[in-house]
Structure 1
Amino acid sequence: MQNRQNQIEPEWTIIKILQWTTSYFKTNGIDSPRSTAEILLAHTLGFKRIDLYLRHDQPLNVGERNLFKSLIRRRISKEPVAYIVGSKEFWSLELVVSKDVLIPRPETECLVEEALLVLDKDKVSAPKRILELGTGSGAIILAMATQNPDQQYFASDISINALAVALNNARHLGLDEKIDLFCGSWVSPLKENNNLFDIIISNPPYIRRGDIKTLQPEINRFEPINALDGGEDGLACIKHIIKNAHKFLNKSGTLLLEIGYDQKKAVDEIIKETGRYAQASFRKDYSGFDRVVCAKKAYD
């Protein structure tokens, strides 16, 4: 029996396991079955994905196969790949993620791009004060800090566990001395007239509460609900931020928010009703949906 095992085990090479797993994922309705198999196998072996093909004929030992099987089971249960491997790329940065934070999305890079354009338009040499509300993994504020390290950065979150993830990422990127992190709900920890910022930026919860159960199981079963739930109409957090952020913006400071794909009209009305901002502008994401709103504080 031992001799037979020795003959069988080497046949489970990297390439054969990739082929089998891709087929298995496809049969079970897993998105991007090949790339998912590659990511999980590379994580199992401590390889880069390219190494899987450079060492395609390398067999896996029993321990490696058992670990890989456990990752396959987690993905079949719809757990997101980012949570399984513990990281996600955003803005070309490899960020640690956990179930305490949302997984960064490509469309949120549009929010970063718009904020950087706002910074680029202001040629004043003095460092700008930039605040992110609801930082989660720190993806947005860290992306900005890597591009413009000479500014002053602040970030908050209501979850102390999320702040721990953000701090971990900041340390990994060597930016922990560049960003002040604090805990609290939106602007509640701030004092009016004492904490003024040139930019306030946020990707707040904006999913309608009743729609959360209709989202992919990867989202509604694994990602933090409090980072998704925007109230009955999806606008509760957006409205709160818009109605309060102007109190903490410098003269002609800018508020930038990520919004839902169908919320442009409602958000524009909230901004107008508040009466504290100049006319808002909207930016589309890579799929053509209105995704970012930019509103300058109106002169008092």
Structure 2
Amino acid sequence: MLLRQLHQEIAGILKDAGIGEPRREAALLLAHFLDLPLAALYARPEQPVDSEVVRCVSLAAARRADHVPMAYILGETGFAGLTFAVGPGVLVPRPDSEILVETAFQIAASIRRTGCADAERPAAAPLMILDACAGTGCVGISLAVRLRQAGYPVSLWLTDIDPQAAAYARRNLVRHGLNAAATLEIADLWPQDRRLGWDLVVANPPYIRQSLIPELMPEVSRYEPPAALDGGPDGLDVLRRLTHEAADRLNPGGCLLLEHGYDQAKSVAALILAAGRYDLIPAVRDYGGRPRVSGGWRK
């Protein structure tokens, strides 16, 4: 079978299954199993395809037609200019979460320029950063990579309550050269050592209202881990905990940054203000112009 024929066949399977952009997704599968860049794939339409590759691509297409997330099939996904290992049992990184990384980078750089949030620490001390509900670790790792590239020393900690998610975070720490420079704990939001003080806490917690999860696209509702999605009856269960509990763990002048639903900005701002220990950071909008990240400076 020629490459163009296989591309057409796989695209047809995906189109019949209601998959958006079937030709593009078919090309992604072909490029993955042929180990080719997309540009090279399109440049070789008459290339014969080995029967084993045809078999593998066909099996993968059947999974995608059943709405298995593409990232699970490929075993990785792009985020903030980096590539992260991903698979069943961990939330697939979303482009909107890149706004959390970008905002956190600006905040961290500001803290570094003005000195660490903890005035008693040396000015050259690494920034103490915690990525809670880390999942793949994409937020904390992307942030740490950017800060290190900018010349800012970082001490990164990641926590997740799910051992399966933490295993992906570990793989991604190794992939991006941070395994020796970061600490990963299987924990419910916070590391066990209560003596630690944070300059910056970032989190993309579960924030979807429980009743809405069955209505999500099947890639999410059928395959992604419910615990990484379910924010309780109002979607604010974990956000409520974070705003309350982070105040005791942030250094004075430190910052809490939270991703949330596009319709939750006012509720999250109210939680931050109700804690009485933060100066509110106005919501930052995502690529679609919707409020996506809110936070507060610890007084």
After TM superposition, the score normalised by the length of structure 1 is 0.92
Structure 1 position 36, deviation (Å):
0.4
Instruction: Tell me which residue corresponds to 1:9.
Output: none
User: Which residue of 186, 190, 207 corresponds with 1:187?
Assistant: 190
Matched, 1:177 2:180: yes
Identity rate, percent: 34
Query: Which shows bigger deviation, 217-226 or 23-32?
Result: 23-32
The number of residue pairs the alignment matches comes to: 285
Instruction: Tell me which residue corresponds to 2:142.
Output: 143
3-state SS of paired residue (1:250): strand
Aligned residue type for 1:167 = R
CA distance in 2, matches of 1:220, 1:168: 25
Instruction: Tell me which residue corresponds to 2:279.
Output: 278
Query: Which shows bigger deviation, 106-115 or 262-271?
Result: 262-271
The answer (yes or no) to whether the contact 1:96–1:168 under 8 Å persists in 2 is: yes
The answer (yes or no) to whether the contact 1:258–1:291 under 8 Å persists in 2 is: yes
Gaps of 5+ in 2: 116-122
Structure 1 position 190, deviation (Å):
4.0
Instruction: Tell me which residue corresponds to 1:268.
Output: 269
Matched, 1:33 2:22: yes
CA distance in 1, matches of 2:146, 2:175: 16
Structure 1 position 121, deviation (Å):
1.6
Instruction: Tell me which residue corresponds to 1:129.
Output: 128
Instruction: Tell me which residue corresponds to 1:152.
Output: 155
Q: Spell out the pairing of 1:62-141 with structure 2 (5 A cutoff).
A: 62-122=51-111, 123=113, 124=115, 125-126=123-124, 127-141=126-140
The answer (yes or no) to whether the contact 2:10–2:58 under 8 Å persists in 1 is: no
Query: Which shows bigger deviation, 109-118 or 140-149?
Result: 140-149
Instruction: Tell me which residue corresponds to 1:4.
Output: none
3-state SS of paired residue (2:49): coil
Structure 1 position 22, deviation (Å):
2.0
Task: Give the number of the structure whose alpha-carbon radius of gyration is greater.
Answer: 1
The answer (yes or no) to whether the contact 1:187–1:244 under 8 Å persists in 2 is: no
The answer (yes or no) to whether the contact 1:15–1:52 under 8 Å persists in 2 is: no
3-state SS of paired residue (1:83): helix
User: Which residue of 37, 42, 50 corresponds with 2:31?
Assistant: 42
Query: Which shows bigger deviation, 210-219 or 40-49?
Result: 40-49
After TM superposition, the score normalised by the length of structure 2 is 0.92
Matched, 1:249 2:247: no
Instruction: Tell me which residue corresponds to 2:220.
Output: 219
Aligned residue type for 2:141 = L
The answer (yes or no) to whether the contact 1:99–1:223 under 8 Å persists in 2 is: yes
Deviations 1:30-66, CA, capped at 9 Å, x for gaps: 0111110011111122222222123321112221111
